[in-house]
Structure 1
Amino acid sequence: MIAMQYSFTLPADYDMAIVRRRIADKGPSLDHFDGLLLKAYLHATRGEQSAENLYAPFYVWRDSEAMQRFLGSPGFAALTQAFGWPSIRCWQVWDAYLSPQARQARFATREIRPIAPYAALDALRDEAREALHRDTERGALAAVTAFEPTTWSWVSFRLFDDMPPHPSAGQHYDVGHVSQP
């Protein structure tokens, strides 16, 4: 599995209703995209929960072929015409809990942490797995932990139907739609 995210930082005075309308109109179009295990249409409004206005979808793909099919699709081309050419972050998934109830998610958190040089990756994965289980017990509807060895970082992504009970560091988002097979 591959986790993927791109993020568009929008001007401070940007009308975020435009993003919410786009999500409502286009979100269901990927509900049955072959190879997509989850897409959370995320946005954040500058203020309490975010330093910036953001549109930042988060994906979990079955494999690289499915991801490539999406990136070569007319839908992705239309997105780039509307918002620009994004830098895309990709992580190899360590663990994922993707419940069917994830479709009801209204909030998301994403934290990216550096991996120290010479870190024991198995121990780090075990620590991330324990956090994933703890978060699902506390109500996370979906939880993903993944890493990438180019810049040596790992990501912790969670979806919730209510504001997370124990807010984490990192970025907080509102969820406009969740596509899931």
Structure 2
Amino acid sequence: MLATQYKITLPSDYDMNIIKERVRKNGHKTDGFPGLKFKLYLITEKGLHNNLQNSYSPLYLWKDSNGLNKFLFEGYYDNILNSFGWQQVNVGIPLFDTTSPNILENTYLYHLRGAIMPQGSLNTLKEHIQKSIPPIHGAEFLVTYNPDQWKYDIFCFLKDINNLKVTSGAIYQILYISSQF
């Protein structure tokens, strides 16, 4: 499996209803996409949930590289290129994936990022990263790492954020989920 995400930072006065309408009209187009386990259509809105900027940041979990290759190189990604220009596509290798069809009921994604520091052995790295996962009752998680950048990402799927204590990271609003659950 592979996870990919690109983050399109939008101006602070950007009308986020444009993105919401875009997803409402087109989100279903990735339903059943070959090789895709799920795609989350994610946004942040400046000032909402302590977010500092507007962004559109879809998150994909691919069953294998074939689906990702089809998406990037057979014209599907061209919609992003034509609308928003060239974007850096971040790639992560799943380390923990507790997602189930229940993620379809979620409306928020809490994202934390951490650095993997140079060390003599990686034997305890999984345990270290697992301890970084916030203890959120009932939440499902996807944890990925990137050995090219030596970073890891924790994605927590949430139905609501009323009791969430946020000291770092970002809270995304989930506009739509395409899945093969």
> d(CA) in 2 for partners of 1:42 and 1:73?
23
AA aligned to 1:155 is D
Give how far 1:27 is off.
1.0
Q: Provide the aligned C-alpha RMSD in A.
A: 1.8
Pick the structure with more helix per residue: 1
Give how far 1:119 is off.
6.2
For structure 2, list consecutive stretches of 5 or more residues without a partner in the other structure.
none
State the TM-score, normalizing by the size of structure 2.
Answer: 0.90
Give how far 1:110 is off.
1.1
Give how far 1:76 is off.
1.3
Give how far 1:134 is off.
4.2
Does residue 44 (structure 1) correspond to residue 14 (structure 2)? The answer is no
> 2:7 — aligned with what?
7
2:128 is paired with a residue whose SS is helix
Q: Deviations 1:38-57 (Å, cap 9, x if unpaired)?
A: 11100011004210000000
Structure 2 counterparts to residues 69-84 of structure 1, below 5 A: 69-84=70-85
> 1:161 — aligned with what?
159
Q: Any conservation in 2 of the 1:104–1:178 contact (CA below 8 Å)? A: no
Q: Which runs of 4+ in 1 moved over 6 A?
A: none
> d(CA) in 1 for partners of 2:87 and 2:134?
32
For structure 1, list consecutive stretches of 5 or more residues without a partner in the other structure.
none
Q: Any conservation in 2 of the 1:95–1:144 contact (CA below 8 Å)? A: yes
Give how far 1:171 is off.
1.2
Name the count of aligned residue pairs: 178
Give how far 1:34 is off.
1.5
Aligned-residue sequence identity (percent) comes to: 28
> d(CA) in 2 for partners of 1:114 and 1:108?
20
Structure 2 counterparts to residues 22-171 of structure 1, below 5 A: 22-49=22-49, 50-118=51-119, 120-129=121-130, 134-135=135-136, 138-140=137-139, 142-163=140-161, 165-168=163-166, 169-171=168-170
Cα distance, 1:119–1:60 mapped onto 2, change above 3 Å: farther
> d(CA) in 2 for partners of 1:93 and 1:62?
11
